[in-house]
Amino acid sequence: MATIYREGKRNATRGASGVHGLPLEFSRTFRTGPRPMPSTFQAAVLRTAGSPRPYARSRPLSIETVTVPAPCAGEALVQIKAASLCHSDLSVVNGDRRWPLPIVPGHEASGVVAEVGPGVESVAPGDRVALIFLTQCGLCVRCVEGQPHLCERGTQANREGRLITGGPHLRSGDALIHHHMGLSAFAEYALVSEKSLVKIPQDLGFIEASLFGCAVMCGAGSALYSAAIRPGESVAVFGLGGVGLAAVLGARSAGATRIIAVDSNPNKRSLALALGATDFVSGDGAAASVRALVPQGVDAALEVSGSVEAFEQALDCTRRGGRTVSTSLPEASRAFHFPLSRLVAEARTIRGSYIGSCVPSRDIPTFIGLYRQGRLPVDKLVSSTIRLEKINEAMDALADASVVRQVIAF
């Protein structure tokens, strides 16, 4: 009902306020923003998952003109400045992860607050922000006990392709378009909950800032929090995409003295070593190669590749009493096998890591501080910047694993 009321009200006043048809209470906040709020903008819309490759030919993402209503209470309109492509976006496109369609993907971004709804206090027009893909409602039991990466309200809203404040609010013509993870950042603007935003320094570049919401939190967080790596430990990281390389950075920041980077692509070697890996392993039998370097097995193995086989290799090269952590989200039916008796007799820990077990409002500023000290050089994860119109070609490059982070610059 809230949606119908707001849009009806907005339509009823279109043209009446003299400021882009916005009701007066919205136009007041709008006028202080960095530029006029458009009611329409360009966005990459996915209508069918699982299109054949190459995507450059099948073009599953179409650039369309979409509309959003003015922000309601608790909402903000963000002008997206940079949005990076993550493997989770590819899983939306290839159908490995099921989302309500049609949808505008994109869950790793930075931007500027253009307009806020009534009562919004945490951000104001003109603020630079990083966007986070699981809204931290601050009210549910998980949020209250300090685990907002498991926010129940945010998770439910994400599954339904809406915001925690309602929706879906995106439209293309008369058709509703779903929000991806409360953000839908492959677009010039995003209507989000204020609780999906973390303010960032005004002088931080948008390109690198876009990486903190997913790659940095999921990668560095998995090393620092989920695996709780301690100084002097040995670590193996399987899968050197943006999240995996951020895990290498996190392991180095935590004081690990042996960091073995593992990837099937030998071309990842030089970047992995430049970011702090002490060794690089490629090819078949990665677990045996890791054990050749650390015979008793590593203290912690992080699997960041999206592959069940790689996770089993990670288990194989973890020492007795060690921790094996996965950030992977492969197709939902994929399962791993491990003897229960070994889990117990070897006192192992197997842990899933979502958003790196981070508290975004605490950890994004922390990671930005480490970045500025040169201890978390996340800017080195950027392979290229592209235009929104090249998103299908960029999805091909992502599927080929030939890039780390491609960032759409707006």
Write out the residues near Zn ion by the rule CB under 5 A: 86, 88, 137, 140, 143, 151, 153, 214
Q: Which is nearer to Zn ion, 218 or 301 (CB)?
A: 218
Q: Which is nearer to Zn ion, 86 or 272 (CB)?
A: 86
Considering the complex, what minimum distance in angstroms separates the CB of residue 156 from Zn ion? 10
Considering the complex, what minimum distance in angstroms separates the CB of residue 383 from Zn ion? 15
Considering the complex, what minimum distance in angstroms separates the CB of residue 255 from Zn ion? 26
Considering the complex, what minimum distance in angstroms separates the CB of residue 198 from Zn ion? 15
Cα–Cα distance measured from residue 269 to residue 277, given in angstroms and rounded to the nearest whole number? 9
Q: Which is nearer to Zn ion, 322 or 330 (CB)?
A: 330
Considering the complex, what minimum distance in angstroms separates the CB of residue 341 from Zn ion? 35
Q: Which is nearer to Zn ion, 23 or 241 (CB)?
A: 241
Cα–Cα distance measured from residue 293 to residue 33, given in angstroms and rounded to the nearest whole number? 56
Q: Which is nearer to Zn ion, 86 or 281 (CB)?
A: 86
| Tokens, residue 200 | 């960032």
**Omega before residue 23 within 30° of 0, cis:** no
Q: Which is nearer to Zn ion, 119 or 138 (CB)?
A: 138
Q: Which is nearer to Zn ion, 130 or 137 (CB)?
A: 137
Considering the complex, what minimum distance in angstroms separates the CB of residue 180 from Zn ion? 11
Considering the complex, what minimum distance in angstroms separates the CB of residue 406 from Zn ion? 13
